[in-house]
Structure 1
Amino acid sequence: MIHILLCCGGGFSSSALATKVKKDIQQYHLHDEFEIEFSPFMIAKEKMGNFDIVVCCPHLTYDVKQMVKNSNPDKPIYILPPRMYGLIDIRELSTDVLDVLEMYKHTPINPVHFPGEENIMRVTRSVAYRRSNAS
């Protein structure tokens, strides 16, 4: 089971999105594969030990970079593209989560990003990275 911590600034949007993702998990019968909780980013460091990955909303880019610089967390942190965050879907999220976990295993550098997506605010995809680049 992969435990995902979804973070936003104050926990409000991540709360609503985590509720949607939990419904998706049930609808697509993924309850044995994924679990999601939400948190304000300011307390994410305290909760990180209970999760496999921290997924953040796009406006936390600066905060994530500061956390990485100051505390060098040992869990992958992934900043979702803006459209993907707004249209969150467990099928797309879980695909990126699996890919990010694999990338981090080989190169443990945070925040984890896909090739060409260093500036997340310029990323326009609303689907998983591997699907957006499929030929």
Structure 2
Amino acid sequence: MIKIFISCGGGMSSSALVQKLRREAANQNLEDMVQFDFSPFSLAARDYSGYDIIMVCPHQRYRVKDYNDRFIKNEIPIYVLPTRIYGTMKLNTIIQDAEDIIEIFKSKPKNPVFFPGEEDPLKVMRIEPFNLKEYNAYSRKEKSH
């Protein structure tokens, strides 16, 4: 099971989004595969224990470095959700991106974690999963030529 903790400024939007994701997970019979919880960003430092990843709403991106340095200390990945993904909050995108971000973090445990070319979450235009496996396969192919 992957445990995803979503955090925003006051907990209002993350609460609504987590409720949506939980409903979708239940409708797809995925409750045994994924768990979603939320908290306001200011309280997340004491609530993150036991989670595999923290996904932060884009409007809190400026707080992530300090938050990591003070509380998380690169123990688990922190991913700032791109604006469009946060807005659409598609279950398959959230789950796949979470799994891929966790994989990136295992090889380079430094927060915040982002996909190649997506260092600024406000400029990311995709709404589908990043697909790290395809990216890595393409990168290996390009390097061999």
Is the aligned partner of 1:81 residue 2:99?
Answer: no
- Report the CA distance between 1:70 and its aligned residue: 3.1
Q: What TM-score results when the alignment is normalised by the length of structure 2?
A: 0.86
Provide the alpha-carbon RMSD of the alignment: 1.7
After the TM superposition, which segments of 4 or more aligned residues of structure 1 sit over 3 Å from their partners? Answer: none
Match of 2:49 in 1: 49
Aligned to 1:60: 60
In structure 2, list runs of 5 or more residues that go unmatched.
139-145
Structure whose alpha-carbon radius of gyration is higher: 2
Per-residue deviation, 1:49:
1.1
Q: Provide the C-alpha distance between the structure 2 equivalents of 1:66 and 1:107, rounded to a whole number of angstroms.
A: 19
In the alignment, the residues of structure 1 paired with residue 70 and residue 26 of structure 2 have an alpha-carbon distance, to the nearest angstrom, of 37
Q: CA deviation at 1:120?
A: 1.0
Tell which deviates more after alignment, 120-129 or 76-85: 120-129
Confirm or deny: 8 A CA contact 2:74 2:110 kept in the other structure.
Answer: no
Gaps of 5+ in 1: none
1:18-57 → structure 2 map (5 Å cutoff): 18-57=18-57
SS at match of 2:39: strand
Q: Partner amino acid for 1:53?
A: I
Q: Could you tell me how far 1:68 is from its partner in structure 2?
A: 2.0
- Give TM-score scaled by structure 1 length: 0.93
